[in-house]
Amino acid sequence: MKKSKLILVFGLIVSLLVGCSNGSSSGSNTTTPTTDGSNTKSAVIATDVDLSTMDHHIATDGTSFIAISLVLDGLVELDEKGFAIPDLAKSWDISDDGLVYTFHLDDANWSNGEPITANDFVFGWQRLASPETASEYNYLVQTLNIVNADGVVEGTKPLEDLGVKALDDKTLEVTLDIPTDFFLGMMAFPSFFPLNQEFYEEKGDLYSTSSENLLYCGPYVMESWTSGNSFSFIKNDDYFNKNDETVNRVEFKFIQDTQSAMLEYQSGNLDVVKLSGEMVDAYNTEEGFRERLQGYLWYLSINRLEDKLTNNNLLQALSFGVDRETIAVNVLKDGSIAAEGIVPVNLATSPSGVDYREDAGSLLSYDPEKAGEYYEAAKAELGGDVTLELLFEDSEASKAVAEYIQNNWETNLPGITINLNMKPKKTRLEVMRLNEFEIGLTRWGPDYADPQTYLDLFLEGPSHGRYSNAEYFKLIYDATKGKFASDSQARWDALKEAEKILVNEEIGAIPVYQNGGAMMINPKLTGIEFHIAAVDNYRNMVKAD
């Protein structure tokens, strides 16, 4: 066995400023734990996406994952450079063939005083995989190639057959079918956090709906949650790895209007505020201004259940007709960059150490002349001009991008009509889930640092719009489960070829831009860790006097 306490991460998702997907649920409850009063500093953060759930097996959006990561720990956490370091697991062993991971748990307790055991991970992972839970992230146990994951997720095998077991209270063993490079990094992803079976079963349907219906094992506990307004956390005095230097309280305020948020920041009521558009120009020379590139890839999801949207000439016209560079640089102005494919830059490196995007090259271009030619061909096949509806959510950035795309298409494709349909994010996501849309402006953030985290989206099961291409499916299968799965370079090449099919040949999605993040951060506040392929970390914030 080879001992490992520090492994470069190939793992996970999400940012506060955006999320993979989102819903919206509620809770309005206040629980104030006892504190010694030695540190009363707070960090107050503006979010334009409301908290939807505190259930780590139901959550799919960045805001929820960030909140959950404040109150729960995983086997590992990520350091500021993206390395996996011990968390609830104080060490681990990896078998020589890369198929068996054995985690040795530290001494830590739940907030009710019960010890955290290996069985809490076994139960949590079984609930994640269970068809009854219907978690949108249940496929991750399959992606990680955990033994019997396919059968358990599909309901043909019992939960107990999943390849995770407690050897004793402090030893967890996970067995894989195929060596998976990004397995260890994924252990920091919230879906793989533990769950106490006794507490969960005692709470039943109330589990995770309010602060008192949660059990905590992270550095903070939930103080209050008022849907549509704010949610806050206060230090967990029983946390096994408590840091007295970090802020005592963390509050997120739901503010969709950037100007309103900035006024609150200038008044000293907020410590972190997102900026976009003209706001960036106004404040980019101020102390506290920060710009970062995120792992979120915004794209146009195509509902191929609509007959006209199976016409590839039309889809080629739409793709060539989007001016991605102008959207990123002049519309958003927040550090976003034009998409070059469905996989973003700085996500993962090839077996030879080259960034995926550099290795795969740019697959997209803005060419109004070609767009017009493809549209003429589409009209001939469809019998005339086309009317399409573009669905987007009610954020300032999405509205600006949707309006610009509408202008692009109606200018570059004479005769086409684009109707805009703005919905609250929760509604937009539900409409897309039900495939009751034509084209939807949406995004995805990485669950782990590998191209597969994006390319898996367009498999028949999880795909918005039900993309179906046999060659694409075969390449993905060969790369993840089939003949290339154990050959790193062959797997890499297959994923690149699959991406070309998706965005160049038989179009299943139209990538638009990779999300940037411009923000103002109180210069007195330090310790926020931003990741391209991980949940942003607000657990270690320190605020100077």
pLDDT in tens for each of the 545 residues of the chain?
A: 433 333 333 333 333 333 333 333 344 333 333 344 445 799 999 998 899 999 999 998 889 999 999 999 999 998 877 778 999 999 999 999 999 999 999 999 999 999 999 999 999 999 999 999 999 999 999 999 999 999 999 999 999 999 999 999 999 999 999 999 889 999 999 999 999 999 999 999 999 999 999 999 999 999 999 999 999 999 999 999 999 999 999 999 999 888 999 999 999 999 999 998 788 989 999 999 999 999 999 999 999 999 999 999 999 999 999 999 999 999 999 899 999 999 999 999 999 999 999 999 999 999 999 999 999 999 999 999 999 999 999 988 999 999 999 999 999 999 999 999 999 988 998 999 889 999 999 999 888 889 999 999 898 665 667 888 999 999 999 998 889 988 889 999 999 999 999 999 999 999 999 999 899 999 999 999 988 888 889 999 999 99
User: Residue 39 and residue 199: Cα distance in Å, rounded?
Assistant: 30
381 touches 351 (CB < 8 A): no
252 Cβ neighbours under 8 A, 6+ residues apart: 16, 44, 45, 46, 47, 51, 63, 67, 230, 231, 232
User: Which one-letter amino acid corresponds to residue 526?
Assistant: T
Query: What pLDDT does 463 receive?
Result: 61
Query: What pLDDT does 543 receive?
Result: 97
Query: What pLDDT does 39 receive?
Result: 57
> What is the pTM (predicted TM-score) of this model?
0.79
User: Residue 134 and residue 429: Cα distance in Å, rounded?
Assistant: 16
The first and second tokens of residue 334, run together, are 């927040």
User: Residue 467 and residue 301: Cα distance in Å, rounded?
Assistant: 10
Classify residue 116 by burial, with Cβ atoms within 10 Å: 0-12, 13-18, 19+: buried
User: Residue 153 and residue 409: Cα distance in Å, rounded?
Assistant: 41
The first and second tokens of residue 163, run together, are 């390849």
User: Residue 443 and residue 258: Cα distance in Å, rounded?
Assistant: 20
478 Cβ neighbours under 8 A, 6+ residues apart: 484, 485, 494
Query: Residue 403, by phi and psi: left (phi above 0), alpha (psi -120 to 50) or beta?
Result: alpha
213 touches 7 (CB < 8 A): no
φ/ψ of residue 175, rounded to 5: -120, 135
Q: Which residue do the tokens 């350091």 mark?
A: 79
Containing H/E element for 397?
helix 396-412
- What does the radius of gyration of the chain's CA atoms come to, in whole angstroms? 23
301 touches 465 (CB < 8 A): yes
Q: How many CA atoms lie within 13 A of 495 on its CB side?
A: 30
| Distance from chain centroid for Cα 244 | 30
User: Which one-letter amino acid corresponds to residue 97?
Assistant: D
Q: Give the dihedral of Cα atoms 184, 187, 191, 192; nearest 10 deg.
A: 110
User: Residue 190 and residue 74: Cα distance in Å, rounded?
Assistant: 7
183 touches 176 (CB < 8 A): yes
485 touches 312 (CB < 8 A): no
Query: What pLDDT does 426 receive?
Result: 84
**Strands 417-423 and 387-393, how do they pair?**
parallel
**Strands 439-444 and 387-393, how do they pair?**
parallel
- In sequence order, what are the beta bridge partners of 510? 300
Containing H/E element for 260?
helix 258-266
In the chain, the domains with their CATH numbers are: 2-252+522-543 (3.90.76.10), 293-517 (3.10.105.10)
- In sequence order, what are the beta bridge partners of 102? 93, 173
The first and second tokens of residue 409, run together, are 């298409």
User: Residue 269 and residue 229: Cα distance in Å, rounded?
Assistant: 15
User: Residue 360 and residue 179: Cα distance in Å, rounded?
Assistant: 24
φ/ψ of residue 276, rounded to 5: -155, 165
What b/e string do you get for 296-333 counting C-beta neighbours within 10 Å, with b at 16 or more? Answer: bbbbbbbbbebebbebebbbbbbbbbbbbeebbeebbb
- Reference 172, options 227, 126, 239, 136; nearest CA is 126
- Reference 429, options 19, 17, 14; nearest CA is 19
Task: Write the CA distances from 455 to 290, 340, 361, 462, integer angstroms.
Answer: 30, 14, 16, 11
